[in-house]
Amino acid sequence: MGSPEVPIIDVHTHILPPELIARAHELEERDEHFRALSRTPNNRYATVEELVRDMDGAGVSLSVTFGFAFKDPGLCREVNDYVAASVALYPDRLIGFMCVQPFDPGLEREISRCAAAGLRGVGELFPDGQGFSLKEGPARLGGLCREAGLPLLLHVNEQVGHFYPGKGGQGAADAYAFAAANPGLRVCFAHWGGGLLFYELMPEVRRVLENVYYDTAAGPFLYDPRVYDVAKASGCIRKVLFGTDYPLLGPERYIRRMGDGRLGDDDVRMILSENARRFLDLH
Ligand SMILES: [Zn+2]
């Protein structure tokens, strides 16, 4: 792999307002999923200043950033306000996504409010932590995103292998069901889609997944670097988005690992930049 001469786009970063970081212990009591993730040895929180500083250090041009998908829509609103303020501070460096609770009666209002405040997508939502199933819905969420032209980033993970805090019970089959129920919606399934991309070798599945992307977030903890070769063999390189799950991991480890596979420079450019432009509808 040569050096990728493209503006690097990281589609998966988390930030939290300093006020919420200061209240992390209280939030751990209120939100089971937040507690599970907070108590992992690798856990860190980052403010927007730290994110931008680390982007500068790693040569990342643009990050998609969001807070944490709490079960409580009130806490989601708090992180959305912070993300909107952060994007206003760094408009050339950040694209903000909103965290919403799909069962919130005020869902439509919150999506419109955040879109008006400059947020340009929805995610990363955590089906298990927020108490919804990708298979059984939530129909309103997909419909509202499609109508508003907002891409959606959803957490799924592999349903095999070792347990770790934050590993949820929804994976490739659930992601597939959601995509099938929401044709035309640009959706990215995080963490390599829980392995869904492998099934793109089935022609009818590939058609259903036409607008689906996969991000690389947490990949170094989960997969051998040859996962990039699997993506290439399954014809999915144009659907893989570079995402770090910052502050869990920084970009360097991912970029180095891409070079361990058999990707060409064009493949790397697509993953680090061009695919994200399509997903985000950037021109
Ligand atoms: Zn995730």
CATH of the domain at 127: 3.20.20.140
Is 1 inside a domain boundary?
no
Owning domain of residue 169: 8-280
215 Cα: distance to centroid of ligand 1 (angstroms): 10
Taking the C-alpha atoms of residue 2 and residue 98, their distance in angstroms, rounded to an integer, is 35
155 Cα: distance to centroid of ligand 1 (angstroms): 4
Question: CB within 8 A of 225, min separation 6: which ones?
Answer: 257, 258, 260, 261
Is 113 inside a domain boundary?
yes
Count of domains forming the chain: 1
3 Cα: distance to centroid of ligand 1 (angstroms): 28
Q: Is residue 1 scored above 60 in pLDDT?
A: no
Q: Is residue 216 scored above 60 in pLDDT?
A: yes
| Digit-coded pLDDT (tens) for 18-31 | 999 999 999 999 99
Q: Which residue has the tokens 């999506």?
A: 111
| Digit-coded pLDDT (tens) for 59-96 | 999 999 999 999 999 999 999 999 999 999 999 999 99
Is 188 inside a domain boundary?
yes
Is 62 inside a domain boundary?
yes
Is 251 inside a domain boundary?
yes
| Digit-coded pLDDT (tens) for 68-78 | 999 999 999 99
Is 3 inside a domain boundary?
no
242 Cα: distance to centroid of ligand 1 (angstroms): 13
Is 51 inside a domain boundary?
yes
| Digit-coded pLDDT (tens) for 242-253 | 999 999 998 988
Is 2 inside a domain boundary?
no
205 Cα: distance to centroid of ligand 1 (angstroms): 23
257 Cα: distance to centroid of ligand 1 (angstroms): 20
124 Cα: distance to centroid of ligand 1 (angstroms): 7
Taking the C-alpha atoms of residue 197 and residue 33, their distance in angstroms, rounded to an integer, is 26
| Higher per-residue pLDDT: 140 or 139 | 140
